[in-house]
Chain A
Amino acid sequence: QSALTQPPSASGSPGQSVTISCTGTSSDVGGYNYVSWYQQHPGKAPKLMIYEVNKRPSGVPDRFSGSKSGNTASLTVSGLQAEDEADYYCSSYAGRNSVFGTGTKVTVL
């Protein structure tokens, strides 16, 4: 069970959009609509931003959106704000267990 693949970093200026990919296999991302995304600020616990590919928990701004095509899921952050600078992790159900992505550091320029 290997970690899902994410780009190490992504960046954008305030107000711009950034999209992060999360590539897995047909045994995880491609096989289930249970892809979620987490935001983690330094020294803090992860926070759920997207679940079931494209659903937002209560309180998460609609600037955050998710999608999936085949074995690759994506998180888009529109209208970047300074507070969006953080590490982002995808996760997918993979049968009996779940697997995280390698993580992407988003920098707001």
Chain B
Amino acid sequence: EVQLVQSGAEVKKPGESLKISCKGSGYSFSNYWIGWVRQMPGEGLEWMGIIYPGNSETRYSPSVQGQVIISADKSISTAYLQWSSLKASDTAMYYCARKVGASYPPDFWGQGSPVTVSS
């Protein structure tokens, strides 16, 4: 059974760093893209970027380029989304999702990782 299990809820202060994770199981992690999607409170979905764990090719959405880092460790079937200096505007639910190809829609989603940034 394909599963994407994300790390739990985080509460951070502005300026702190954070790395959240998404662990895949039940499939060949290296051979599928993993995407990250942001959903701010009461708002819509927003693509942040995708990574191909097989060769670490990464594509960022222009709106988040330079703001976050997407990475993956195929040896432990885990993808990551990290911030070096959080802002209050990073408060959101973050979903990871599996994609067969870069142009294809996600077929499996993680349960979401809520992140709250508040002083």
Contact = CB atoms under 8 A, between A and B. Distances in A.
Contacts of B111: 45
Contacts of B47: 91, 97-100
Interface string B42-81: 0011110110000000011111000000000000000000
A17 B90 CA distance: 38
Nearest to A51: B105
14 contacts: A32-B103, A40-B45, A45-B95, A45-B109, A51-B105, A91-B45, A93-B102, A93-B103, A97-B49, A97-B59, A97-B62, A98-B103, A99-B47, A102-B44
Interface size classification for chain A: 20 to 34
Given A1-B63, A45-B111, A100 B45 contact: yes
Interface of A: 1, 3, 32, 34, 36, 38, 40, 45-48, 51, 57, 87, 89, 91, 93, 96-103
Interface centre among A57, A96, A98, A100 (most CB of B within 10 A): A98
A63 to B, nearest CB: 19
- Say what secondary structure dominates the interface of chain A: strand
Given A48-B107, A97-B49, A97-B60, 18 more contacts: A38-B45, A38-B105, A87-B44, A91-B45, A93-B103, A96-B102, A97-B47, A97-B50, A97-B62, A98-B35, A98-B103, A98-B105, A99-B47, A100-B44, A101-B44, A102-B44, A103-B44, A103-B45
B45 A34 contact: no
Nearest to A45: B109
Contacts of A91: 45, 47, 105
B46 A100 contact: yes
Interface of B: 35, 37, 44-47, 49-50, 59-63, 95, 102-107, 109-112
Contacts of A38: 45, 105
B104 A34 contact: yes
A57 to B, nearest CB: 7
Contact of B104 (A51, A96, A103): A51
